[in-house]
Structure 1
Amino acid sequence: MTIDPSSKARRIVVLNRWSDDFAAYHRYIDHAVHNVAYVCTPNGAAALRAPCTTHIVPDFLDEDALHAAVRACGATLGGIDRLVALSEFDLMAAARLRNSFSIPGDLPDQVVRFRDKAVMKYDIAAAGLRVPRFAALEDLGFPDAEEINAMRFPVIVKPRTGAASVGVRRVDTRAQFDALWPTLPIAGYECEEYIEGTIYHVDGFVLDGAFVIARASRYVNTCLEFAQGKPLGSVMLDPGPLNDALLTFADASLRALALVNGPFHLEIIRGRDGLYFLEIGARVGGGEIPFLFRDLYGVDLFALWVAQQSGDEARFTAQTQAAFAASTSCARGGFLMLPEPIGKVFVDAQLPQGIAALYETVLPKQHHLFDGAGGYDTILARFRYRGASEHEIAVAIHATLRDFRFTLAELATLAIFEKETLAAPHSP
């Protein structure tokens, strides 16, 4: 994406589905300088903190409504110079809107390489990088295709444009695969061999094809296991051969997919015979990743991305220079997320003591009902760590898992408790 060097006011449209602090775009866009209009879901509109023109659509999946809302924004602003979209689920829609309204920025043929898990693997394999054996199910035509016969079970079946392991399944036998086949929307799925090994992720930002800042981390458990109810953690690696190998693999992957400018979140498996590409997003990593970059290095990856998408070269240049300087820091960090105990109510928790690396804990509000919609945010607990080494962070995560205590209740039990509390006489 080319940054417009002009510093004049721009007409910017923002697609916002977020209803939390991520919707604080006033931190990133100077609304006194630029003319800004928002297209939001109802919850997203309620979260905005800057006075602005807002067009509400019931659901971003309705691209006709989205298109009409953006057209209305253009009429209000007198044109559109830039379109900003930060949610992974909106990147392709934003690309199609840029194409329709001739707005500079990432277009569909660029975005698809980072949203479609089959397309990205084809490009990675063509570049000579190691990927698991895989196949787009719509290319097979039937479950007994040659590509499936060549695969070793277990295999992983996943939506091609999914996120957060939603809809991902491990299939252990051929019989299970044959039984699953007729239940799947074939055009939307791919399958790949399961590779035994540790999963790593590399996160950062690139400018002109080079790392501005990048960190390689080791997962504790996996994203799929988190979706199945297990804790998910991550530990940044110390400098060394493995860290260097992961960064080299990440650089080669970004080049194969032609990501020249922007954020990235790449997942890599370390198998018995080397590193395997798992998947990538041209976006800021989820969960606690952006908070760690902010807290450890003073780098707001979302601020960088918005400056890039909005064409604010002055901010973008200053922020990339600061991020590059921070990239030499020896600080290491990590996170731990405990999944939702769906159907339970949060009562209280006792935080572990004496864990020096643990610097931030995020808990749900008292009496919060876990309904399964918490994603990586409104979950049982989120912990952030910082320290001087990979070992220190790993020890802190395991100590937290050992010592964290919490109390849950059934919804019916809580309702009885509240009724009794309200009926009890109060002291004068």
Structure 2
Amino acid sequence: MHVIACRWDEVALRSMLSIPGVEVTLVMDEWEFANRRLAPELLERVRAQHVVPSFTDLGALSALAAALGRQEPAVGAVFSLAEYSQLGAAYLAQALGLAEPEVRTSIRVRDKAAMKAAAVAAGVPCARQRVVEDRSAAGLDRIGAELGWPLVLKPLDGMGTVDTWVVTDSDEAANRLLNAPETLMIAEEYVRGEEFHVDAVWIEGEAMDFSVGRYPVPRVQIVDPGHLNGSGMLREAEHERFYSELRDLSARVNAAIGVHTGITHTEFFLTEAGSWVFSEVATRPGGGAIPEMFAYFGDDLRSRWLLSVLGRGGDVRRDEQGSPVFGWGNYAPSAVGRVSREPDEAALRSLPFVVDVKPGHRVGDTVHAVFPSLWSWQVVFGADTWEEFLERMVEVERHVSFELEPAGGDAGA
């Protein structure tokens, strides 16, 4: 089978290349081609690589689809391994005569207004939102009067909590929007409660893998990317209610958005009143170390996804999660600059509950911006309860120290 991977990911690429008879063509945009380097031994194993100016350049994608359509064997699947390549991947798939991913579904997972409109129409409980068409204080006052303060401001096509803020009044909102991207923004009702995520692999609407995770604090509340940042996967045996309710709600979200086969990362809030509210869904692996956590009791979630979709689901390794809560904490610099001192890896590994340490920013690396999804050092551990998991996350933080110096004119690493 000939498959297309839009954007490369080493774990995903190795999984596809491990399947006998599968040939992989990589498609990347100019930024990725200039800034990321594929290991030579993997590059030698791919069928071909193509570079397009961007995944929204329909002219370039049309020409590529025409060229791919003349090749043998015919393309049998198209995968998008990142948020920003989803629309382009869906266009390629449709141009090549494939049923999935659908353009309409990809629009719904990239456009948050379209996503929520589809969910609301299907009766899925959602936070109310409005597209910000008037960025003046008066225009924002009208939205605030309708939805109530505080509000969450975010890009219509955003990801990773970038350019996302909680604002308490129209003046603060207007000031934030002065420095916001030119893209359309949405204002959303602020939901008070705890935030959960569901990571799943689906084949024709049936979940092959289904995991409920919990964030230490809602993502929108994170100011310091090295404090209470990460997530814990909850074992079903101790959290049967969450699994039962979120299986049903996830299936309803998928039906509304048009997801049948593939991978999803879906976020929900459990309100103070005890009800679930749908937040967002993405048809790509979750961020940070979420997919990697599955590898501690079987295969990485990216491998489970690709092997299942490509007809090798029987090869997937799935073992029971070893502790009631198992996850990771992210420990990152809290300011921009060049790293002059990094955490002590040996000291972190010496903590009795630590399972693994994945180093991030090293001495000499430059931190250009600070935001919730600034992934850096990631420490893996388990716990018997959610409270113990949070205590251990904070305990690790006490052993993490960065020092930074001004980066100067050098762009750095």
Relative to the length of structure 1, the TM-score reads 0.79
- Rounded to whole Å, the distance in 1 between the matches of 2:37 and 2:70 is 20
Query: How far apart are residue 399 of structure 1 and its match?
Result: 1.6
Q: Percent identity?
A: 21
Contact kept in structure 1, 2:359 and 2:377, CA below 8 Å = yes
In structure 1, the gaps of 5 or more residues are 1-9, 416-428
Contact kept in structure 1, 2:202 and 2:261, CA below 8 Å = yes
Q: 1:55 to 1:154 in 2, by over 3 A?
A: same
The residue aligned with 2:331 is: 338
The residue aligned with 2:118 is: 123
* CA deviation vs aligned residue, 1:264-322 (integer Å, no higher than 9, x gap): 11111222232211111122111111111111x2033212332355xx32x13443xx5
The residue aligned with 1:347 is: 341
One-letter code aligned to 1:202: V
- Which of 196, 200, 221 is the equivalent residue of 1:200? 196
Match of 2:84, SS state, is: helix
The residue aligned with 2:86 is: 91
- Rounded to whole Å, the distance in 2 between the matches of 1:328 and 1:334 is 11
The residue aligned with 2:268 is: 268
Contact kept in structure 2, 1:213 and 1:327, CA below 8 Å = no
Query: How far apart are residue 258 of structure 1 and its match?
Result: 3.7
Query: How far apart are residue 335 of structure 1 and its match?
Result: 1.0
The residue aligned with 2:291 is: 290
The size of the alignment, in residue pairs, is: 393
Contact kept in structure 2, 1:230 and 1:339, CA below 8 Å = yes
- Rounded to whole Å, the distance in 2 between the matches of 1:408 and 1:344 is 8
Match of 1:118, SS state, is: helix
One-letter code aligned to 1:279: E
* Superposed CA RMSD: 3.4
- Rounded to whole Å, the distance in 1 between the matches of 2:388 and 2:195 is 20
The residue aligned with 2:22 is: 34
Contact kept in structure 1, 2:337 and 2:406, CA below 8 Å = yes
The residue aligned with 1:3 is: none
Q: 1:29 to 1:328 in 2, by over 3 A?
A: same
- Rounded to whole Å, the distance in 2 between the matches of 1:375 and 1:186 is 19
Contact kept in structure 1, 2:343 and 2:400, CA below 8 Å = yes
**Does 1:235 find its partner at 2:232?**
yes
One-letter code aligned to 1:117: K
- Rounded to whole Å, the distance in 2 between the matches of 1:32 and 1:123 is 39
Q: 1:236 to 1:185 in 2, by over 3 A?
A: closer
In structure 2, the gaps of 5 or more residues are none
Contact kept in structure 1, 2:144 and 2:169, CA below 8 Å = no
- Rounded to whole Å, the distance in 1 between the matches of 2:324 and 2:80 is 30
Match of 1:241, SS state, is: helix
**Does 1:150 find its partner at 2:146?**
yes
One-letter code aligned to 1:410: E
Query: How far apart are residue 220 of structure 1 and its match?
Result: 1.3
- Rounded to whole Å, the distance in 2 between the matches of 1:139 and 1:100 is 37
- Rounded to whole Å, the distance in 1 between the matches of 2:332 and 2:25 is 36
Match of 1:278, SS state, is: strand
The residue aligned with 1:109 is: 104
Contact kept in structure 2, 1:195 and 1:269, CA below 8 Å = yes
One-letter code aligned to 1:201: H
**Does 1:161 find its partner at 2:157?**
yes
Relative to the length of structure 2, the TM-score reads 0.81
- Rounded to whole Å, the distance in 2 between the matches of 1:196 and 1:371 is 32
One-letter code aligned to 2:5: V
Mapping of 1:337-416 within 5 angstroms?
A: 337-340=330-333, 341-350=335-344, 351-352=347-348, 355-364=351-360, 366-372=362-368, 379-402=375-398, 404-411=399-406
The residue aligned with 1:219 is: 215
